[in-house]
Amino acid sequence: MRSFIDGCRHQRVAGTRIICLPGAYDSPLDFREAGFSSAVARRGIALDLEYVDLDLQHLGDRSVLQRLRSDVVLPAREAGIACWLAGISLGGMLALDYAATYPQDLSGLCLLAPYLGNRMLTAEIRAASGLAAWEPGELAETDEERRIWRYIKTRPRDSGPIYLGFGRADRFAESHQLLAGSLPEDCVTVIEGGHEWPTWTALWENFLDSRFV
């Protein structure tokens, strides 16, 4: 799996790394061009970013999760580096699916406007009077949408934090509100904006300030 690391302190490797997963039709370079690296550098945070080039055609067979783990996450952990996953849109869904599959690997998640499944599924959860009452049922191996909601519903209290950020005009805002209801208030940020890079960059800066500054 192709990726590249932006070391914000070039003299040495930082003890924490955020592995950034782009959305559909986005590239790893879009993170840098949107100012994600410069936001870290301006704050002087001891934090490295790794931008991953996802081959999204493999999402259905889950091989992307296995390659993300073997090629990116495990080498960092073996070097003593704490790993977060940050995902935008479809990359946010992949980050949740990774956490559901390999929860012991991660120190936390940063989800910016994540895709959280189709509207029929989120309507089903609401019809059950919310996530606490909803039952996911038996899951197929390829049903990542139900798997992520089961993870959100059942994850242990001592799991790494999930930070959620989204714009009020985001086209997935209804599902974001459903996820927000299961998180502590200080882990959720809602700002003006839609499903677009300027909104995600502002949310990223808020995440850095709230978690690392």
pTM for this predicted structure:
0.92
**Across the strands, what pairs with 82?**
16
The tally of domains found in the chain comes to 1
Task: Specify the CATH number for the domain of residue 62.
Answer: 3.40.50.1820
Mean pLDDT, the chain cut into blocks of 10 residues (213 residues total): 72 89 90 95 92 70 86 96 96 94 95 94 87 82 85 88 97 95 95 97 97 87
Q: Report whether 106 contacts 85 (CB < 8 A).
A: yes
User: CA angle 44-49-54, nearest 5°?
Assistant: 160
Res 56: pLDDT: 60
For residues 38 and 204, give the distance between their C-alpha atoms in angstroms, rounded to a whole number. Answer: 11
For residues 108 and 42, give the distance between their C-alpha atoms in angstroms, rounded to a whole number. Answer: 22
DSSP annotation string for 59-112: GGGTHHHHHHIIIIIHHHHHTT-EEEEEEETHHHHHHHHHHHH-GGG-SEEEEE
Could you read off the pLDDT of 56-102 as tens digits, one per residue? 654 555 788 999 999 999 999 999 999 999 999 999 999 999 999 99
**Which residues touch 11 (CB under 8 Å, ≥6 apart)?**
none
- Domain that residue 88 falls in: 3-211
Res 112: pLDDT: 98
Quote the percentage of the chain above a pLDDT of 90. 65
Res 58: pLDDT: 46
Res 148: pLDDT: 92
Angle formed by the axes of helices 119-127 and 173-180, to 10°?
Answer: 40
